[in-house]
């Protein structure tokens, strides 16, 4: 009887082990399948947004070129308001797409000379005078850096009504200090609320500054807002360097 009972228990344990292994195997296969499907859906989403963003940017760029050509015929002063609004719409589209992709957008970190990168943006903002003091190399993604400076320039020109923007670069340890400032209007808002919340930022004029903070966080940088003695907004940024 004892031997028979032992055999019966062994068989029960054996079959329960088989069932458990079957569940584990089935669960593993299901997990692999759903993980693979999620990966494919993510890849398809990224490809769609990349294609969609490219088509939108191409269309906006062509429209901007046509307006600039029209300005040569009619006079730049007559088409400047349309050109400014077109550029504003272009930036809003870029910002919306960047935020829609969120953390799914991969970054390509490379060595970038900030003074040269910033200076190359001048042709897109001919209304502004550019000044750069110092030199500095940062480890950053070009698209993220482009979004950061475009939003700062847009904020200076559209909201601050600035005529001149300046960049001051200095290296401290393994971080590059970047001070961005302009000669625009005095800032009368709350520094603590700048770029702190996406909902309030998107409803007002601060969504661009929200994205500046978002990109700096992803680049392992830092952001701080201060004011000059005159009350103008100063944007203090830090990015990793070598």
Phi, psi of 223 (to 5 degrees): -140, 135
Q: Considering Cα of 43, then 44, then 46, then 51, what sign does the dihedral take? A: positive
- Indicate if the pLDDT at residue 147 is higher than 80: yes
Percentage of the chain surpassing pLDDT 70? Answer: 56
- Indicate if the pLDDT at residue 227 is higher than 70: yes
Q: How far is CA 11 from the centre of its chain?
A: 61
Paired sense of beta strands 164-172 and 175-182, if any: antiparallel
Q: In which residue are the tokens 């993220």 written? A: 144
Instruction: Quote the pLDDT of residue 44.
Output: 65
Instruction: Quote the pLDDT of residue 191.
Output: 76
Lowest mean pLDDT among 30-39, 144-153, 161-170: 30-39
- Indicate if the pLDDT at residue 168 is higher than 90: yes
> Could you read off the pLDDT of 169-196 as tens digits, one per residue?
999 989 999 999 999 888 877 777 776 6
Band of pLDDT at residue 78, cut at 50, 70 and 90: low
> Could you read off the pLDDT of 109-141 as tens digits, one per residue?
999 999 999 999 998 888 899 999 999 999 999
Q: What is the DSSP letter of 173?
A: T
Q: Helices marked H in 75-197 — which ranges?
A: 76-101, 114-119, 142-154
Q: Which helix (H) or strand (E) holds 164?
A: strand 164-172
Distance CA 177, CA 174 (A): 10
> Could you read off the pLDDT of 203-219 as tens digits, one per residue?
445 788 888 999 999 99
The pair of structure tokens assigned to 227 is: 């004011």
Instruction: Quote the pLDDT of residue 235.
Output: 93
Instruction: Quote the pLDDT of residue 198.
Output: 47
Domain ranges within the chain, ordered by starting residue:
2-102, 107-240
Give which of 68, 160, 150, 76 is closest to 117, Cα–Cα.
Answer: 150
Give the CATH number of domain 107-240: 3.30.565.10
Band of pLDDT at residue 67, cut at 50, 70 and 90: low
């Amino acid at each position: 009887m004892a031997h028979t009972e032992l055999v019966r228990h062994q068989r029960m344990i054996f079959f329960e082990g088989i069932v458990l292994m079957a569940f584990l195997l089935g669960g593993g296969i299901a997990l692999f399948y759903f993980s693979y499907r999620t990966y494919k859906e993510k890849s398809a989403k990224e490809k769609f947004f990349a294609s969609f963003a490219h088509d939108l940017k191409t269309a906006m760029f062509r429209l901007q070129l046509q307006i600039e050509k029209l300005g040569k015929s009619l006079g730049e002063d007559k088409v400047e308001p349309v050109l400014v609004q077109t550029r504003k719409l272009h930036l809003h589209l870029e910002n919306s797409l960047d935020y829609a992709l969120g953390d799914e957008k991969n970054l390509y970190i490379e060595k970038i000379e900030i003074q040269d990168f910033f200076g190359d943006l001048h042709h897109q903002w001919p209304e502004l005078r550019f000044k750069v003091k110092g030199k500095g190399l940062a480890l950053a993604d070009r698209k993220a850096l482009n979004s950061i400076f475009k939003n700062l320039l847009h904020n200076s020109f559209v909201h601050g009504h600035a005529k001149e923007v300046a960049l001051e670069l200095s290296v401290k340890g393994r971080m590059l200090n970047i001070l961005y400032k302009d000669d625009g209007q005095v800032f009368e808002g709350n520094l603590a609320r700048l770029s702190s919340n996406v909902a309030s930022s998107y409803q007002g004029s601060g969504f661009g500054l929200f994205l500046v903070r978002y990109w700096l966080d992803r680049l392992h940088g830092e952001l701080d807002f201060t004011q000059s003695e005159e009350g103008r907004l100063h944007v203090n940024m830090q990015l990793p360097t070598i």
